[in-house]
Amino acid sequence: MSNPARTLDLKTILLATGVVLTLAMGVRHGFGFWMQPISQANGWSRETYSLAMALQNLLWGAFGPFAGMVADRWGTMRVVLVGAFAYMAGLAWMATVTDATLFIAGSGILIGLGLACTGFGAVSGIIGRAAPPEKRSWAFGISGAASSFGQFLLMPIEQTMISQAGWQNALYLLAAIVVFLMVPMAFRLREPVAQVAAGPRQGIREALGEALGNRSFLLLVAGYFVCGFQLVFIGVHMPAYLRDQGLADPKVAVIALALIGLFNIFGSYWAGKLGGRLPKRYLLSVIYFSRAAVIALFLAVPLSPLSVYLFAAAMGVLWLSTVPLTNGIIAGVFGLSHMSMLAGVVFFSHQVGSFLGVWLAGYLFDLQGSYDLVWAIAIGLGIMAGLANLPIDERALVRPHLKVA
């Protein structure tokens, strides 16, 4: 089978997916800024908003494999177009709806679908098909850096929008920005029709069965669960945690989240770069062990703006550096024919972890009045994920009877 995406310019694909990921991930990382104003305006507890964010993350993961299937079979362009309009509708829903149940369900479904169609899983296939094997891990690192740049760029912009225009108008503005910038980029992701070679090919059911019966794939799934738990807990609850601890200046949280995005640009890029030279499983283990150590150190030292910024910088290096390595292992072991779908399956585990991380933090805070137990869980899970990634086998599967890219 000829590789259709290689007739396209890799730089064009990286640029278009980079803009999409910058917006998708940048907007999403700022949702913590809306927790207090939306909760106060509607008279909700912190758990209500946390549940909405948790459902959003869970459905992002649930929709992910299906978005990947469509992208692999009918093209990334169509998937990103659907995602752009769903994302826009979800942001407008958050600004408009005041009923708690409708807010939770609507924002969860719409933004969950939007993120599934514009996030890493949906675009990983076209990136993998466009990049030659020796540059594939690097290309995934570039896409991870783009999403991190979005967090760095949009954190201060979103906080400024809220303070200058109000939280509702800020959501409307973001909705307009998402659709007007994502849609033109989607049309740059049109792939030519593939020329299919003769011979037996692996179907969706066979690909899923093969992956789910593979020990290394299941270990990746377990590690990604932990990644989601840690990242979304910190990303959504960090502003509230800092205020609870006496750091009431909102600029501290804004700078911290922006630093995470800034340093993750370098972390994602170098993770992808090193993933082309060193065993990816060992790099993943180092990342998870390091996260546990950084969180423990952050809790052990006196809290101050400086300690928050140092924590954010260290976590930033480790933030999405798991993405190019995980996607690189999937592509290397299973090939590219079902890359987006399998990346979506792994990412579903990430989002189950995200659901628990953001919801459990809100629930335990309302129950205990602190985040202490959630921090402890995040440390323990980091150690477990570091151990889980060590035995992963990165060798490509041999399928002599199938035509698999």
Write down the pLDDT at residue 273.
Answer: 84
Buried b or exposed e, range 267-301, using 16+ CB within 10 angstroms: bbbbbbebbbeeebbebbbbbbbbbbbbbeebbee
Write down the pLDDT at residue 261.
Answer: 79
More confidently predicted of 47 and 346: 346
Task: List all residues 6 or more positions away from 356 whose beta carbon is below 8 Å from its beta carbon.
Answer: 54, 229
Name the packing angle between helices 250-275 and 322-334 (round to 10°). Answer: 30
> Is the predicted pLDDT of residue 286 greater than 60, yes or no?
yes
Q: Identify the CATH number of the domain defined by range 8-191+204-389.
A: 1.20.1250.20
- Percent of the chain topping pLDDT 90: 37
The neighbouring-strand residues paired with 403 are 201
Q: How many CB atoms are closer than 10 A to CB 356?
A: 22
Any idea where the domains of the chain sit in the sequence? 8-191+204-389
CA distance 246 to 36: 16
> Is the predicted pLDDT of residue 384 greater than 50, yes or no?
yes
Write down the pLDDT at residue 402.
Answer: 58
Rounded mean pLDDT, 297-312: 94
CA distance 392 to 383: 16
> Is the predicted pLDDT of residue 5 greater than 50, yes or no?
no
For residue 375, name the pLDDT band (cuts at 50, 70, 90).
very high
- Ranges 192-206, 219-233, 250-264: which has the least confidence: 192-206
Q: Are 316 and 267 in contact (CB under 8 A)?
A: yes
The label of the residue with tokens 């949009």 reads: 154
Q: Are 160 and 77 in contact (CB under 8 A)?
A: no
Rounded mean pLDDT, 81-89: 95
User: Which tens digits make up the pLDDT trace of 150-207?
Assistant: 777 887 888 889 989 999 999 999 999 999 999 999 999 887 655 444 455 677 788 8
More confidently predicted of 355 and 98: 98
User: Which tens digits make up the pLDDT trace of 23-49?
Assistant: 998 898 788 788 889 988 888 887 788
CA distance 142 to 113: 24
Write down the pLDDT at residue 397.
Answer: 81
C-alpha closest to that of 61 among 214, 229, 177, 217: 229
> Is the predicted pLDDT of residue 2 greater than 50, yes or no?
no
For residue 314, name the pLDDT band (cuts at 50, 70, 90).
very high
Q: Are 105 and 72 in contact (CB under 8 A)?
A: no
Write down the pLDDT at residue 82.
Answer: 95
The label of the residue with tokens 């408009």 reads: 96
Secondary-structure percent of the chain, ordered helix, strand, coil, rounded to 5: 80, 0, 15
Write down the pLDDT at residue 244.
Answer: 86
Q: What is the 3-state secondary structure (H, E, C) of 320-334?
A: CCHHHHHHHHHHHHH
Q: What is the 3-state secondary structure (H, E, C) of 127-163?
A: HHHHCCHHHHHHHHHHHHHHHHHHHHHHHHHHHHHHH
User: Which tens digits make up the pLDDT trace of 321-339?
Assistant: 898 899 889 888 888 778 7
Query: Which DSSP state fits 402?
Result: S
CA distance 103 to 49: 9
CA distance 264 to 313: 8
- Ranges 64-68, 302-306, 390-394: which has the least confidence: 64-68
> In the predicted model, what is the mean pLDDT of the chain?
86
Write down the pLDDT at residue 6.
Answer: 44
